[in-house]
Amino acid sequence: MSWTERSTELLAQLISQLCTEDLLQPDGDGSDGERLVLGPATYTFSATRGAFGSYQVVPGSVRRTATGILGNDESEEAVDPVQFLVDAAGILGLAGSTVAGYVAELSSTLAADVRMASTAVPNADLLGLSHSELEGHLTGHPLLVANKGRLGFSAADSLRYTPEARTPLRLVWLAVRRGLAEFRGTPELSEHAVVGRELSPEALEAFRSQLVDPDSYVWLPCHPWQLDHVVRTQWARELATGEIVVLGEGPDEYLPTQSIRTMVNVSQPLRYQVKLPLKILNTSVYRGIPAHCTLAAPMVTQWLRGLWYRDEVFNRLGTELLGEVASVTVRHPQLSEGVPYQWTETLGCIWRDPLTPRLQAGETAWPLAAVLHRDAAGEPLVAAMIAASTADATTWVAELISTLVRPLLHLMHHYGITVNPHGENLSIICGPEGVPTRLVVKDLVDDINISTTPIPARGPEPDTHDRVLPRKPWHILRQYLVDALFLGVLNPLADILSEADLLTPDTFWGLLRGEIEAYTTAHPEHLDRLTATALLDKTFARYPLNGYRLTLGYTDLDTRPPIPVTGQMPNPLYEILGIPPSRPW
């Protein structure tokens, strides 16, 4: 794919999302499709409307009309998302610094997309990849237009450290003086147990030999980019005084996942995944790790495990929880309250359970985002998944929806807990027949929310004294399911399946409504909570992900602010006829 072709697609995506989020309001004139008057220029384009009031602009249909140098109107095909953003800046109310920052993110995304297109492979090859290898072929968040902004990475960094580089890297181990660093783990894990599991005996001995008193330090891995760009500069004093010691590269190779900062061990797949801070701005926020998250991760995991493994529904469904079992927190000795958060979240790590040991004989796993992928020929990967299975399209999709929503509905309504179920945080396990059977949930402490309503079933929360888990009312809890899963994954999936003539939108949304109705029937004791979450209501609140960055701009802030609400969006489940699931609750 050429630069112009991908630029044309990105422009269509940008217009689609800004109109979907109601930041721009097109008007159709009946002959030229939709029209946006943006002051210096007028844009016309063809678009279809989808669920949730979404727009899908047809790539290549966009034209820009502006006054030419001779005073007459000149119309030409529009292919440049940057030019569109500059034209729309006045209507959107964007400051110059916001325009410049977003242009940088758009340009970085476009460059990454073109590189990915040049190395894209057929679906037949993707079907044979492991879940960790597949991560490097997926093309990013379906709703966030500048989903590979990665401000802070150089061009060389992008070629080396991004998922699409598909290049294994080794982590650098640091020793940080106790008092500056703090280890925490679940009850069965000690520091020595974690480090001994993560390092070979030879590496362990080589690192210990560099320290006079090895046990006076807490050991942790560090991303090589973070070491070079942040640790060696921001922590230069601690390095000079020996409070931090660079021990050297670990022996194992890792691949980054879609989130960039989470690493999967490909040398020893039974070892932990590692979540590491990166001082880059990507998909709305800097990718550090807050101290409250590293400190709380093991206790939140232990609490959730207690609920999970005692729960009959989770056990029957086979839902897997990848716990964040150990962590290291390193607080900066001077920087704290009131300082922009990217400066206070620069050192630390979280070790997470690996996925591979959870797979049974004949099972395969893949990130949920894979269902939205298209290969080098533009063919949807989900179509190849269905064709490779023993099921027809309707059955396969019904099993996917059931695998996804049953544990999430139960978690939210029985326990008053929600995760952030987007395409990165969930994985799907398929049985030997290639049909979805089990759900994998990860990224816990950063994305767990609980109801303000006390729920006896969940017992005492693990943060009674120092609050870590946000408390939200039911109508806010439901938005995690609505925005991350329904809008962020299922809506584009419905469009892909319809375009491929595999499933109609009515059938797709009917299957989802059928699952919600079946849960309601099976659990009348939760009727008050189901009424409060109102998943079958006429409308949902709209939280504009792209508008969040454009509204917030690029000003340094000491906290991550919430996404503002901008009106309502229609619910495709409201009037659709529910299709009862073939498997009862």
Structure confidence at residue 562 (pLDDT) = 79
pLDDT band at 32 (very low <50, low <70, confident <90, very high): low
51: tokens are: 């669920």
Q: What percent of the chain stands above pLDDT 70?
A: 98
**CA–CA gap between residue 483 and residue 425 (Å, rounded):** 14
Q: What CATH number should be reported for the domain whose range is 3-93?
A: 3.30.310.280
**CA–CA gap between residue 568 and residue 540 (Å, rounded):** 6
- Model confidence pLDDT, tens digit, residues 505-560: 999 999 999 999 999 999 999 999 999 999 999 999 999 999 999 988 898 888 87
Q: Report the phi/psi class of residue 482: left, alpha or beta, with left for phi > 0 and alpha for psi in -120 to 50.
A: alpha
Q: How many helices (H) and strands (E) does the chain have?
A: 20, 27
Asked if the domains 3-93 and 370-570 are classified in one and the same CATH topology, the answer is no
Quote the DSSP letter at residue 306: H
Report the CATH fold assignment for 370-570: Transferase(Phosphotransferase); domain 1 (1.10.510)
- Model confidence pLDDT, tens digit, residues 89-128: 999 999 999 999 999 999 999 999 999 999 999 999 999 9
pTM for the full predicted model: 0.96
Structure confidence at residue 211 (pLDDT) = 97
Structure confidence at residue 68 (pLDDT) = 67
Contact status, residue 520 vs residue 573, Cβ threshold 8 Å: no
Structure confidence at residue 561 (pLDDT) = 75
Domain ranges in the chain are 3-93, 155-352, 370-570
- Model confidence pLDDT, tens digit, residues 33-62: 899 999 889 999 999 999 999 999 999 999
- Model confidence pLDDT, tens digit, residues 251-290: 999 999 999 999 999 999 999 999 999 999 998 899 999 9
- How many CB atoms are closer than 10 A to CB 456? 6
Which is more confidently placed, 105 or 2? 105
pLDDT band at 30 (very low <50, low <70, confident <90, very high): very low
